[in-house]
Amino acid sequence: MVTEWVTHPGSNRYFLYVNAAGSYSLRSTCGSSFTTSNVVTVSVQTVNTYFQDSDGDGYGNPNDSLQSCTQPSGYVFSNTDCNDANSQVHPGASETCNGVDDDCDGLIDENVQTVWYADADGDTYGNLNDTLMSCSQPSGYVALSGDCNDANTQVHPAATEVCNGIDDDCDGQTDEGLLNTYYADSDGDGYGNAASSVQACSAPSGYVIDNTDCDDNVAGIHAPLTYFVDADQDGFGSSTSVLLCSLNAPIGYSTNSLDCNDGDFMIKPTGLEICNGIDDDCDGLTDMADPSLTGAPVWYADADGDSFGDPVVSQTSCAPIPGYVSNNQDCDDSDSLEFPGQIWYIDQDGDQYGAGVTQVSCLRPLHGYHVFELTSISGDCNDNDATIHPAAQFLRSLADQCMELR
């Protein structure tokens, strides 16, 4: 678009001002007349700014430029070369570690410098918090980092971890895999409490490596002891056993399993064997088979069957013995009429009639008779004369009658 058409004063020269390059048709008019001979075509070109490229790298010096409709030799459109004397320095070049801004981004050796770490202890591992960026290794600096104690040559990432309370290999852990577990030994018996422990390189005071103490308050015991159930609490246990962490047998338990009947206090090894059909003393023998039997009944021979036994003939037995009785009061075991409390009837004259006199005696007294041995136990009016008795008068009467018949 034509923006201005100017006639230069005092000459026949004309100036055409446009805002874009291109071809323009001009016509001049004089009054109201117009002829085609008055049309002129004008071609307009753009004026560009070019920058000198002394090093021929395709990038120009922003401080050396000229304007031209065409590109002059040694000049380029770009003005971004930061060193037009070095063809290796220009935008797009690879940044190398050389102290030069190779890619003209205003930064020198960006992203190509090496990070170096201070190595104060000389163990070839540096301090991550003390660094330098440099293309070459500075003195006192190393390429490897990770030293967690740069004042100790024995501490670095390649060191061997030892049990010393220090992170020797700089992995953030101390004594890993090397600590021992120690257990509190409150009672000092050498056995520790599994519920109270610490980890350490060596045993702290009051701790041991063992953890099997079942009662760390009593020095006399560290492992459960075997006790036997003593249900009848007679001091002797059954065959049922339990493990208890107790120095002494608790109530209801015993250190032995000798009781053969844990439901009866009287039956135990120290029990008295008596006649009851039971092994009272737990020796495997019952009643008469047990030599330790006490209180067994003594039975006495009753040869005459009068229910009174012979004191000199006896046997011990839990059960009654045929022909024996439980008393030894017989004074004559060969005579069934002689026994304690026997009542004897006196017949002094032997006429088989008593005078009503009796005597209580085990042995037969002189002139004494059993009731069945006499005709009558009374009625003799003269027990000193055998001819005088109740039947004598009857006999005399019979004799008198016989005499009369003759």
- Secondary structure element (H or E) that encloses residue 272, with its range: none
Please report the beta strands in 48-102, taking only residues with DSSP state E, as ranges in sequence order. 48-52, 65-68, 75-76
Closest CA to 49 of 21, 77, 74: 77
Domain-located, residue 369: yes
For residue 92, is it within any domain?
A: no
Report pLDDT digits (tens) over 72-111: 999 999 999 999 999 999 999 999 999 999 999 999 999 9
Residue 17 covered by a domain? yes
Greater confidence (233 vs 2) lies with: 233
- The Cα 291–Cα 237 span in angstroms is 24
In this predicted model, what pLDDT tens digit does every residue of 10-40 receive, in sequence order? 555 555 555 666 776 666 555 555 454 556 6
| pLDDT above 70 (res 155) | yes
Rg (CA), the chain: 74
C-alpha–C-alpha distance, residues 151 and 154, integer Å? 9
Q: Please check whether residue 357 lies inside any domain of the structure.
A: yes
User: Is 240 domain-assigned?
Assistant: yes
Per the structure, the count of domains in the chain is 3
Check residue 342 and give its pLDDT: 95
Which residues are registered as beta bridge partners of 254? 228
pLDDT band of residue 46 (cuts 50, 70, 90) is confident
- Domain assignment present for residue 159? The answer is no
Q: Is the dihedral of CA 261, 262, 267, 268 positive or negative?
A: positive
377 found inside a domain: yes
Q: Note the pLDDT of residue 240.
A: 98
Name the domain boundary from 233, 248, 276.
Answer: 276
Q: Is the dihedral of CA 79, 84, 88, 94 positive or negative?
A: negative
DSSP label at 305? -
Segment holding 395, helix H or strand E: helix 392-405
pLDDT at residue 170 greater than cutoff 80? yes
What's the mean pLDDT when you consider all of the chain?
90
Domain for residue 185, yes or no?
Answer: no
The mean per-residue pLDDT over the stretch 363-382 comes to 92
Distance CA(82)–CA(271), nearest Å, equals 120
Query: What mean pLDDT do residues 132-152 have?
Result: 95
Q: Are 125 and 142 in contact (CB under 8 A)?
A: yes
Query: pLDDT tier at 42 (50, 70, 90 boundaries)?
Result: low
217-263, pLDDT tens digit by residue?
999 999 999 999 999 999 999 999 999 999 999 999 999 999 999 99
Domain of residue 269 covers 224-276
